[in-house]
Structure 1
């Protein structure tokens, strides 16, 4: 990969952040996300029906945005000379699967729940909570966030020799990811206190990613070596 191509990754990072936040903002406006997830099933499904096609498109866009991280993770690894891994791609897939349930499963449940008699409504409630627990809580949140934290830790460790403040900011998000796992785990281990810090983890992680992209765009006086960028006095031969 040449230097010019490497510098194009910065704008791709910015586009990725936009691809995530535009549908996310729409979900907040149309659906009250993510506070709506803490409401009873009937309230959540009624709000989903009220959102109509724009809400469905927002969920589709959010899932597609999450999936875009799969190729981006590999591009960022190559840009700093890091051997290709799999945790970033796996995280993208896990979070996409978790989000895709709002496109392919929840619409069916929301439509069936409308004017449903009590026995059917109880069944729909159970089905909704079961799919939410499996696809949302376990695959999307727990697995997706653990894998994303692992990718961030791996990249931050490699950045230590290239840009220590950038590496430290990436590492600083890791405790938030760990604390954020307490909320989905509390749905299984009832005595565990759920700490709602995952939104802060995502905000901090996206800020770090923007800095990462900006650094790739604006870094000067560097040259390509072994797939990464190093100051001339630190250039190394590929091993």
Structure 2
């Protein structure tokens, strides 16, 4: 995992996420459809099943990229926040893939059988609890840990400010199941800013000539 490969993964994840999210919004009214009654969700799913499944697979693939991204970013520093950030980033990838994959693996069968109870269980456990709540919390935590590990010396004030704001807004999503007004919109804005942050991160890795960090551990590793 070198800087160029990590940058390529960051760009790919950001692009795939936004393309898939936009496509799902067009063919499935995602994510607003998730607030609708079960029968409405399943009817809409059946009407556009192939497209919906395809784009959820793309969305899951983009989430899976955060596992190697966490490993690649982890090479930028050897300090304690980054050592914590690596498993947190991998966990964020895993829970989101688990949550999103239900649309390709489980939901088609539920829709064919009209199994509302099984769908609702998967929707709440795999979707709301694991994929969304844990996903929001872990993604926000990974971002903040990476920022803490790299420090302001990495770019100055704007990079941690952008990442920090996006992480805080993403984290508000954990309150979405409680029906808190405005949370879904704030979470959406958080992910838009997060995509911009990922692209900025990639650009810095590609075009900065100086090392990302100057910690003693990194210097010692380079010397070795």
> What is the 5 A alignment of 1:210-225?
210-220=199-209, 222-223=210-211
Cα deviation for residue 175 of structure 1 reads: 2.3
Return the alpha-carbon distance in structure 2 between the equivalents of residues 238 and 51 of structure 1: 55
Of structures 1 and 2, the larger Rg is shown by 1
TM-score by length of 1: 0.81
Matching of residue 141 in structure 1 with residue 132 in structure 2: yes
Cα deviation for residue 66 of structure 1 reads: 0.8
State which of 13, 16, 19 in structure 1 corresponds to 2:13: 16
Render the CA deviation track for 1:173-207: whole Å, top value 9, x for unaligned. 232123221112x16xxxx5562122111111111
Superposition CA RMSD, Å: 2.4
Return the alpha-carbon distance in structure 1 between the equivalents of residues 39 and 28 of structure 2: 14
Structure 2: segments with no counterpart, 5+ residues: none
Render the CA deviation track for 1:1-45: whole Å, top value 9, x for unaligned. 7xxx32342233212222222222221111111111111111110
8 Å Cα contact 2:70/2:89 also seen in 1 = yes
Render the CA deviation track for 1:149-190: whole Å, top value 9, x for unaligned. 111111111222322321221112232123221112x16xxx
8 Å Cα contact 2:11/2:202 also seen in 1 = yes
Return the alpha-carbon distance in structure 2 between the equivalents of residues 141 and 181 of structure 1: 7
State which of 179, 183, 190 in structure 2 corresponds to 1:195: 183
Partner of 1:163: 155
Return the alpha-carbon distance in structure 2 between the equivalents of residues 168 and 235 of structure 1: 26
The structure with the largest helix share of the pair is 2
Cα deviation for residue 79 of structure 1 reads: 3.0
Structure 1: segments with no counterpart, 5+ residues: 114-123
Matching of residue 37 in structure 1 with residue 34 in structure 2: yes
Matching of residue 128 in structure 1 with residue 116 in structure 2: no
Cα deviation for residue 89 of structure 1 reads: 0.3
Matching of residue 57 in structure 1 with residue 47 in structure 2: no
Question: Helix, strand or coil: the match of 1:26?
Answer: helix
Return the alpha-carbon distance in structure 2 between the equivalents of residues 170 and 52 of structure 1: 35
8 Å Cα contact 1:81/1:229 also seen in 2 = no
Partner of 2:174: 181
Return the alpha-carbon distance in structure 1 between the equivalents of residues 219 and 36 of structure 2: 57
Return the alpha-carbon distance in structure 2 between the equivalents of residues 111 and 175 of structure 1: 39
Alignment length (residue pairs): 214
Q: 1:30 to 1:177 in 2, by over 3 A?
A: same
